[in-house]
Amino acid sequence: MSEKNLEHVAIAVNNENNSNEFFIELLGLEKTRSFTVSADLMEKFFGVSKEQKIIRYEKGTLSFEVFITDDDSKAHDKFTHSCLLIENRDEFIKKATSMGYEIVKVPRKDSNGYYLFIKDSFQNLYEIKEKG
């Protein structure tokens, strides 16, 4: 069986400013490209007949394709999330909190550690683990 790799994660965000703030300012990714998918292709791929702007953010092997909704909708799925490995969770919490992001920090049972999740402006959920 051949090796499998994750090429990118696709999510939605309401607007480009919110997307840039989260992926560039908070996560430190780079905006590598922006493109539009025709309504015809969107209908074929996703059953949505609307032209769609998509922004690609990357750093190393981490890649996100962000679908810009240009509306005020929010994510409805409570369980789907991406897990990101970062260098220093305490620093990350301080920065994310100062930027107004919702942090979910739950102590681990029988441990000094904790589980950490963050929600972006669209209410997409990200689990945050420390490298190590």
Domains and CATH numbers, the chain: 9-130 (3.10.180.10)
Cβ neighbourhood burial of 30 (10 Å; 0-12, 13-18, 19+): exposed
Q: Report the C-alpha gap between 68 and 82 in whole angstroms.
A: 18
pLDDT tens for the chain, 132 residues long, are 678 888 999 999 999 999 999 999 999 999 999 999 999 999 999 999 999 999 999 999 999 999 999 999 999 999 999 999 999 999 999 999 999 999 999 999 988 889 999 999 999 999 999 987
To the question of pTM greater than 0.85 for the whole model, the response is yes
* Per-residue pLDDT at 103: 97
pLDDT at 124: 97
Smallest CA-to-CA distance from 63 within 79, 84, 77 is with 84
